[in-house]
Amino acid sequence: MRFANVPGYMSGLPKAYATLLNVGAWPQKYKATMLAPQNFNGHADVALALTPKSSRSTDRGVVLVNPSNWTVDQVSWNLSGGVTLDMTESYADVGSYRVPSSQSLSVHTPYATADGSATLQNYALNIPIDSEIFAQE
């Protein structure tokens, strides 16, 4: 995801966004504990508390997962320094794939708040990527 016109004091947002929302990396970095189910958009989601495996981190997260299709509906993080990050995601079916169709993100720090939304569309699945994209300059 590209972040345009990010103020200097929020320059770490792109890296934090990529790290904290990388679902595939959660099992290596966090211990997941089941919480009571939570209602989300008219259905009950599985709720998980994510706590760091490392004692050096104070980051904590709560994830809501839709059990009907195992997609992440919402992620809420409490980070060091009083920063919170909340992301909600919606999905669409494209061919035989379930892909993100929209996201909303809210970041609160002790000194600033940023809210944003994204619409993801025009997916081209299983299309070769032009090798020029990976060319080094």
Give the pLDDT confidence of 10-64 residue by residue, as tens digits.
556 666 666 677 888 889 889 999 999 999 999 999 999 999 998 888 889 999 9
State the Cα–Cα distance between residues 120 and 104, nearest whole angstrom: 11
Domain 8-120 homologous superfamily, CATH:
Lipoprotein localisation LolA/LolB/LppX (2.50.20.10)
Half-sphere exposure of 14 (CA within 13 A, CB side): 9
State the Cα–Cα distance between residues 102 and 55, nearest whole angstrom: 34
For residue 109, give both structure tokens: 């720090």
Burial class (CB within 10 angstroms; exposed 0-12, middle 13-18, buried 19+) of 108: middle
Residue 105 phi, psi dihedral angles, 5° rounding: -135, 135
Q: Is the pTM of this model over 0.75?
A: yes
pLDDT class for 96, splitting at 50, 70, 90? confident
Query: What local confidence, expressed as pLDDT, does residue 62 receive?
Result: 96
- Calculate the average pLDDT of the chain: 85
